[in-house]
């Protein structure tokens, strides 16, 4: 697996990372044995960059990864803090808002260190902006954690260019994580350019459109009751049927490369800049292997342009989040 650099502070990772949320959270039933087998295969394929968060589970995803990385020093795990998590309910029900109070940040990091079974977190993100706490204060605490040896590199998730600039002025930010894929193009407005200018790596989550861009996505109504995609606007029946027509064209183009739609979608993201490291999720080994093969797929410039136009915002029906979820996105 090729390597790419995130930021200029020394963080070098595999060109494709592995988003681990779906192994424990949000997408229905989870199989720990299957997840551990997939993680082991990822390491064999050269994937050394895993993405987690305290809220995934909550908490259980970090504990899962601890089992996979135990005894290894070559795997880089990114995790996130920033939500208020209660003891009531299950899954999403336990999340009651954001919290980046300095004391909470420290508490969250101590918890992540313990669950991951590591002495230092490779990459620590603020998961979502907390409007009650200035970003300068948040990054100030994160920078203290770097100086204390509890964290190596700093990141932010779903923030605007303006917020990134303010944060970067306090302490170098190595990576900005946001949703980015053929059908989620918001970062192209200015975030990607700002990352390039500041030498901040960009980590796209959901680069396969939460599975839709694989070309094999079922009707949303058939998903597990606790699969949160059932509530997303662009997965509703009318929007899904409209967007499927675009994926059909993606499938057709992929056949010209002797590739899958998923591989073409990932190759498109990788082609957008050497500072970009997508983190597609995969709970099954077959899907993981297909994704990793995309790192060696070089798209013709004309085809990149064709995909740019085919999946332009005007052609996508439905927002990527509901209004209540967009409240947490700094735009």
Q: What residues act catalytically?
A: 56
Phi, psi torsion values for 96, nearest 5 degrees: -120, 15
Contacts of 252 (CB under 8 A, 6+ apart): none
Look up residue 86 and give its two tokens: 């209660």
Phi, psi torsion values for 75, nearest 5 degrees: -100, 130
Phi, psi torsion values for 264, nearest 5 degrees: -65, -40
Give the separation between CA 126 and CA 113, rounded to whole angstroms. Answer: 15
Look up residue 10 and give its two tokens: 């020394």
Give the separation between CA 187 and CA 197, rounded to whole angstroms. Answer: 14
H helix or E strand, kind and range, residue 122: strand 121-126
CA atoms within 13 A on the CB side of 94: 15
Query: Which residue stretches of the chain are H helix?
Result: 32-44, 60-69, 102-116, 135-147, 161-170, 191-198, 237-256, 261-270, 285-293, 301-310, 323-326
Which residues, listed in sequence order, are joined to residue 19 by a DSSP beta bridge? Answer: 51, 281
């Amino acid at each position: 697996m090729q390597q790419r650099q995130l930021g200029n502070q020394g963080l070098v990772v595999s060109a494709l990372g592995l988003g681990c949320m779906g192994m424990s959270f949000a997408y229905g039933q989870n199989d720990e044995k299957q997840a551990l087998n997939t993680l082991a295969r990822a390491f064999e394929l050269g994937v050394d960059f895993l993405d987690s968060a305290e809220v995934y589970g909550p908490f259980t995803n970090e504990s899962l990864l601890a089992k996979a990385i135990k005894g290894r020093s070559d795997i880089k795990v990114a995790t996130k803090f920033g939500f208020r998590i209660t003891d009531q309910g299950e899954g999403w029900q336990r999340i009651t808002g954001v919290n980046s109070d300095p004391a909470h940040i420290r508490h969250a990091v101590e918890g992540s260190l313990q669950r991951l079974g590591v002495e230092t977190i490779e990459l620590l993100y603020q998961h979502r902006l907390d409007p009650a706490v200035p970003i300068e204060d948040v990054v100030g605490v994160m920078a203290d954690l770097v100086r204390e040896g509890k964290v190596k590199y700093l990141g932010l998730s779903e923030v605007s260019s303006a917020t990134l600039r303010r944060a970067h002025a306090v302490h170098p930010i190595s990576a900005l994580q946001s949703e980015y894929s053929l059908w989620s193009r918001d970062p192209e407005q200015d975030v990607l350019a700002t990352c390039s200018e500041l030498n901040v790596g960009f980590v796209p989550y959901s680069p396969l459109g939460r599975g839709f861009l694989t070309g094999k996505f079922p009707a949303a109504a058939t998903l597990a009751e606790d699969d949160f995609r059932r509530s997303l606007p662009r997965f509703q029946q009318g929007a899904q049927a409209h967007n499927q027509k675009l994926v059909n064209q993606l499938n057709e183009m992929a056949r010209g490369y002797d590739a899958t739609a998923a591989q073409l979608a990932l190759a498109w993201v990788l082609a957008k800049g050497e500072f970009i490291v997508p983190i597609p999720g995969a709970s099954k080994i077959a899907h993981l292997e297909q994704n990793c093969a995309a790192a060696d797929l070089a798209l013709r410039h004309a085809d990149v342009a064709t995909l740019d136009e085919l999946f332009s915002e005007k052609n996508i029906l439905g927002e990527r989040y509901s209004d209540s979820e967009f409240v947490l996105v700094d735009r």
